[in-house]
Every structure is written in structure tokens, then in C-alpha cells.
Homo-oligomer: A and B are copies of this chain.
Amino acid sequence: MPSSVPNKRIRKSPAARRAEIVAAAASVALTEGLECITLRRVAEELDVRPGLISHYFPVADDLVAEAYGTAAASELEELLPADRSGATPTRHLARLLARTTGEAYDDISRLWLNARHLSRYRPALRARVGVQEAAWRDRMEALIRDGVAQGEFRTADPLVTAIQILVVLDGLGMLVNSAATSEDPPAVRRLPVTTAERELGLAPGTLGAMPDDSAPTADSGGVGGPRGAAR
């Protein structure tokens, strides 16, 4: 072990140390859960004493909220970048839906599930969840508005459509800790894509590859219901 026993002190600027602490806490939140953000756990992560964490976050709940906030915000930036100059709205939406379906997204699903539950007991966290919730809705709504403006999407109410897609994503995300997730019928995993394509007036397959249709199954063909203007 290179870190000798007496463990020399390293003194950092408050800003740097604070950022370090939040980053460590966010990492713990993503991998182990928000309730694992304890003074002792975060201190161990940074190889400092628990008292130091208390010094920067006199109320531990504030650290939890902060850690969640940064984790969720950075994930939003990754999945729905504010600067969308790179590609068309359709491509951005397809990319988002592709990533949220992958297994790598499970940690994020767990984080949201975790935060939404824990915010029942922790006001500071609840406030942060509200902020992030609004941010995701805003980004999604802006994306859809953009798509509508460019003639790619067609919907009467971009906000409601945005929320509708997010609700489906959340609903599936709720299953992240259930064993059954992977054995669900493919149509279930494709629910966000199907929902988005339907609500935005897109042709099936536009936002994600259709499941292999070659076999004559009864189900895939029908759009699922009477077609019409979305809402």
C-alpha cells in the first residue's frame, strides 16, 4: 500500500475540495444508491476523515441533493445536449431512445427511481428532483418544437407529447430492479420508440429498428389502434 499509515494531510482550496466531494458522492449515488452517500462512505472514497465532509456539508442531506443534481444534470447533457447543431431532431430523438434502452442506462434508471422515492423523506432532494424533472421536460419539449418547426414531427402539443414519452421511459425504468426486465416481450422494450413515433406522426421504424418482421406474426403490422391526428 503506497498510502502510508500516518497519511499526510493534503490541503486543497475549498472550491476544489467541495467539487471533489460532490463528484465522489455522485459516483457513489450512481453505483450504490443515494442512501449510501454517508459521511463515512464519501470520506473513505476520498481518503479523508468524515469530519471534513461535515465541514463542507454541515447537513448531510444537502450533499445527497447536490450529488443527485450533478449526476442527473450531466446525464441530461449527455443524452439531450443543449447544443443540437450536430444533427436533425429526428436523429437526436432516435439517439436518445437508443441509449435509454441500453443496459448502460440502468444506473440512470436506478438513480431516478432512487431519487423519486427518497425525495419522499428529504425536502432538499425533492426540490432538486423537481428542478431536474423540469429540465428534462424543457429539453424534450424544445427538441420536439424544433422538429415540428422543421416539418419532421407533427403534434398538437409538444409539451404533452414530451411528457408522454418521458412517462413511458419512467414507467419502464421502474422495472429496472425487477428480474423480469429482460424477459419482457420485445414490443415492451420498444414502447418508448413506438410511443414517440405515433405521437409525432412518424413512420414506424423511423426512430429505431423494427423487430425482425420477416416471420408472419399477427401483431406487428397493425399500428395498434385507429390512426389519426395525435390527440
Contacts and interface: CB of A to CB of B under 8 A. Distances in A.
Indicate how many identical chains form the complex: 2
Interface residues of A, number: 56
A196 B110 CA distance: 27
Contact of A159 (B166, B167, B185): B185
Interface string A165-193: 01111111111011110001101100100
A126 B179 CA distance: 8
A133 interface: yes
B113 A178 contact: no
Task: State the main secondary structure of chain A at its contact with B.
Answer: helix
Given A167-B171, A174-B170, A201-B226, A130 B185 contact: no
A120 B130 contact: no
Nearest to A129: B178
Nearest to A119: B177
B126 A177 contact: yes
A116 B169 contact: no
Given A174-B174, A199-B225, A185 B160 contact: yes
A216 interface: no
Contacts of A114: 117, 120
A218 interface: yes
6 contacts: A114-B120, A129-B177, A130-B180, A166-B171, A167-B171, A170-B175
